[in-house]
Amino acid sequence: MDDNLDLVCEDPGSHSDVVEKVRRSLPEDDTLYELADLFKMFGDSTRMKIMFVLMESEMCVCDIAELLGISQSAISHQLRILKQSKLISSRREGKNIVCFLADDHVRSIIDQGLSHVLE
């Protein structure tokens, strides 16, 4: 018989110990959601391009749009999202809004991704 309360896979043995141990090692749910939300920012090619551009130089919205060949509106929507995630900041400079990376983690995260993609 099998009176294992924490019945897993019908397996008679070792599994549940490991499962319990791993369960306790997991981060808080909040942390997991925050993490996923963070990576979501890097998971869209438009946002990715914006961040790549800003890794090279701060730049106004209009230049970003022109450089990437994406509509000003689309860029602006994405910038809003990136700002909400604290990845990008901006300042006004005359008529322009100059955007720049707000966090050095952006660079290290993208670099880690690149080293995976480039074999």
Give the binding site for a second copy (CB under 8 A): 8-9, 11, 15, 18-19, 21-23, 25-27, 31-45, 47-49, 52-53, 56-57, 59-60, 62-63, 66-67, 96, 103, 105, 108-110, 112-118
Q: Are 87 and 73 in contact (CB under 8 A)?
A: no
The candidate with the shortest Cα–Cα distance to 113, out of 52, 53, 70, is: 52
Instruction: Select 45 or 84, whichever has its Cβ closest to a second copy.
Output: 45
Choose the stretch contacting DNA; rule: CB under 7 A; options: 21-29, 92-100, 106-114: 92-100
Q: Which of residues 33-72 bind DNA (CB under 7 A)?
A: 40, 43-47, 60-63, 70-72
Residue 18 contacts DNA per CB under 7 A: no
Helix residue ranges per DSSP H, 1-119:
15-25, 29-42, 45-56, 61-68, 72-84, 105-117
The candidate with the shortest Cα–Cα distance to 86, out of 70, 103, 74, is: 103
The candidate with the shortest Cα–Cα distance to 81, out of 50, 103, 52, 117, is: 50
Residues lying near DNA in the complex (CB under 7 A): 9-11, 40, 43-47, 60-63, 70-74, 76-81, 90, 92, 94-98
